[in-house]
Chains A and B, each alone.
Chain A
Amino acid sequence: NAGVMQNPRHLVRRRGQEARLRCSPMKGHSHVYWYRQLPEEGLKFMVYLQKENIIDESGMPKERFSAEFPKEGPSILRIQQVVRGDSAAYFCASSPVLHEPHYEQYFGPGTRLTVT
């Protein structure tokens, strides 16, 4: 059973370009979370999605950022018109369908975005 997969692992974009980050959850997992880790910082929650639904986007910047988790295919985190401050590691985590009081979030290896 493959773990959470993210691609690309490293992404370089010039200011003003768009960045698309992909996350394939573990097999059988229908919940996806995106976190951002700025240099020398902890992970900050961005958005929580289920298939075709955004459950909580309270951590997502209001402009330029969007996320989706379609019925088929990976979850996508999209950053439009990137700026230098967007340079960070973006981690995706997934968890299975919720029937228990606790479920572990399994993290992917992250995508390291560098904006030049």
Chain B
Amino acid sequence: GEDVEQSLFLSVREGDSSVINCTYTDSSSTYLYWYKQEPGAGLQLLTYIFSNMDMKQDQRLTVLLNKKDKHLSLRIADTQTGDSAIYFCAESITGYSTLTFGKGTMLLVSP
């Protein structure tokens, strides 16, 4: 099975909060990442969290990590239409090792 799993699709209205969930299986994962991919573009790192942290906040983004359940979530507050994209969860064993990605969650924000 997949090492990193995500729900495939999320639809929200502009101004609402979006929560994108991810589960991973490798307990030795040290760093967990959220990347954003807009249509036809490469991946942009949004934020990352080290495995000894429970939460990280960066402006409209909040990352929650439940290491016991191997569950990671990304909350986007006040979601805008420009947030519509595919969001990938990824993990690595060390900070410079290769990344293992989920299949991505397509976020659609309607006005």
Chain A interface (Cβ < 8 Å from any Cβ of B): 4, 31, 33, 35, 40-45, 48, 56, 59, 91, 93, 95, 98, 100-110
Q: Inside 8 A of B44's CB, which chain A residues have their CB? A: 107
Contact indicator A43/B101 (Cβ below 8 Å): yes
A-B pairs with beta carbons under 8 A, tally: 56
| Minimal beta-carbon separation of A92 from chain B (angstroms) | 9
CA distance A101 to B48 in the complex (A): 13
Contact indicator A31/B101 (Cβ below 8 Å): no
Name the interface size band of chain B: 20 to 34
Q: Inside 8 A of A101's CB, which chain B residues have their CB? A: 94-95
CA distance A104 to B47 in the complex (A): 10
Chain B interface (Cβ < 8 Å from any Cβ of A): 4, 31, 35, 40-45, 48, 50, 88, 90, 94-96, 98-104
Given A101-B95, A103-B95, check contact A42 B4 (CB 8 Å). Answer: yes
| Minimal beta-carbon separation of A40 from chain B (angstroms) | 7
Contact indicator B99/A41 (Cβ below 8 Å): no
Given A42-B88, A42-B103, A42-B104, check contact A102 B48 (CB 8 Å). Answer: yes
